[in-house]
A = this chain, B = another copy of it.
Amino acid sequence: MDAKVDTSPKSVARCSLRKLSGVRTLSASELSFISTLKSGELKCNAGATVVAESSYTPHIFTVVEGWGFRYKTMEDGRRQVLNYLLPGDMIGLQGAVLKEMDHSVEALTPMRLCMFERSRFFTLFEKQPSLAYDVTWLAAREERILDEHLLSIGRRTAIERAAYLIAFLHHRGTRSGQLNDEDARLPITQNLVADTLGLSIVHTNKTLRKLATRKLLSWKDKGCDVLDPAGLAAVAQWEPPNLKERGAE
């Protein structure tokens, strides 16, 4: 892993499991518990591999800042991007629970991650049911996203898929605080879009050009300016999910 661990003392609060997703505030007891689990912070550069497929990593991470993505590859090099990672997301749940990761994680921008010991993951369930519930909440949300991606790749046309992806990333980026009205630039390459949508690079390019012609987006440098999120969502026949706050009930 070409990334370095930041061992200097940092605020625990910004590392929390769910505060980052902006949905729930944590109690003092929860915060102090998290501080006992936390084993450090990790900063990495764009392009860094955070977790490699099928390798054993004794850590779980939460994203504090930056963009990343997780993907699988086949032996002959075919690659499929599974989902994107943003502040509030968790990395390594599969590894923690199933004892093995079958996908890799790579940073898209410089990232700041919070590190936890996998070995103490189960104590979270024993000692902090509310946090354990949060973990399950995150897992259920991930499942929901994957469901939608599956529908997208399986049944949407190329232009619908592309529109969906950009609208989706815009939505998530905005929600997580990585994007705002002034800066709606997605830090992705067309190569990555192709590997997310299951299309070739060439056809991805031609499809994105069509969306650009319609003034729904514009591609600059190595990124995508989202001009009309609602328009994109309309093309994709997709409605951004509006998650309700989790409650104990």
Residues on A facing B (Cβ under 8 Å): 72, 74-76, 78-80, 82, 93-94, 96-100, 102-103, 119, 122, 125-126, 129-130, 132-133, 135-137, 139-144, 146-151, 153-156, 195-198, 237, 241, 243-244, 246, 248-249
Pick the residue among B103, B132, B154 that contacts A136 (CB under 8 A).
B132
| A190 smallest CB distance to B (angstroms) | 16
Min CB–CB distance A26 → chain B (angstroms): 16
Listed A/B pairs (23) with beta-carbon separation below 8 Å: A72-B148, A72-B150, A74-B237, A75-B237, A76-B237, A82-B150, A94-B140, A94-B143, A97-B137, A98-B140, A98-B144, A98-B243, A100-B244, A102-B241, A122-B249, A125-B129, A132-B132, A136-B139, A139-B140, A143-B143, A146-B146, A146-B147, A150-B150
CB proximity of A100 to chain B, nearest CB, Å: 8
Known: A80-B154, A198-B154. A102 touches B147 (CB 8 A): yes
Which of B75, B132, B142 is the one whose CB lies under 8 Å from A125? B132
A140 to chain B, nearest CB (A): 4
* Contact residues in B for A156 (Cβ distance below 8 Å): 74, 78
Cα A170 to Cα B79 with chains together (Å): 25
Which residues of chain B come closer than 8 Å to A196, judged between CB atoms?
154
For residue A72, which residues in chain B have a CB less than 8 angstroms away from its CB? 147-148, 150-151
Q: Which residues of B contact A243 (CB under 8 A)?
A: 98
Copies in the complex: 2
Please, which residue of chain B has its CB at the minimum distance from the CB of A248?
B122
Knowing A132-B129, A143-B93, the reply to whether A80 touches B137 (Cβ < 8 A) is no
Identify the closest chain B residue to A102 (Cβ).
B144
Question: Contact check: which of B94, B132, B140, B248 meets A93 at CB < 8 Å?
Answer: B140
Q: A93-B140, A132-B125 are in contact. Are A151 and B74 (CB under 8 A)?
A: yes
A58 to chain B, nearest CB (A): 11
Contact among B82, B119, B141 with A147 in the assembled complex (CB-CB below 8 Å): B82
